Amino acid sequence: MQIEKVSYHKTFNLGNYSNEKIGADIILAPDENPLDAFAEAKKQVEKSHKFFQDQPDYEKAKQIVSRPDDYTGRQVKAAEQAIEVFEQNYPDFIAKFMPASRQLNESNHDDDNDTNDDDHDNDRLPPYGPGDPNTYGPF
């Protein structure tokens, strides 16, 4: 029996009464081991799901790094580390799903909204407050 194609599909529970189905189909070369292809398909499906699960945290970390004055040093450092890990883990996915034009637009978008009106500086409060373990000092 000659196996010509290997498929792996998995349905992930997203936790909000919805599911996401991700799959991969691999057409085998004549001398390729089907088990190796199956393992690769499974790895790609799992990594794809993890990428999309981690992406919101990556976006949040980019926001923190873009406005370091609004966050504690510890939060900025953690965000920088999260960005570094994400970019090391998903270089292929970033290139495919997060085009450079989108990244440039996001970073330029923050600069376009800045105003010199001092009345609005207090509108952007840091995301921490009394009782938050990330706050420092007597609040």
Q: pLDDT tens, 104-134?
A: 445 544 444 444 444 444 444 444 444 444 4
Residue 95 has a pLDDT of: 87
pTM summary value: 0.65
Q: Which residue has the higher pLDDT, 82 or 139?
A: 82
pLDDT averaged over every residue in the chain: 79
Q: Which residue has the higher pLDDT, 115 or 1?
A: 1
Mean pLDDT of 69-87: 95
Q: How far apart are CA 75 and CA 64, in angstroms?
A: 8
Residue 100 has a pLDDT of: 61
pLDDT at 7 over 50: yes
- Cβ atoms of 47 and 10 within 8 Å: the answer is no
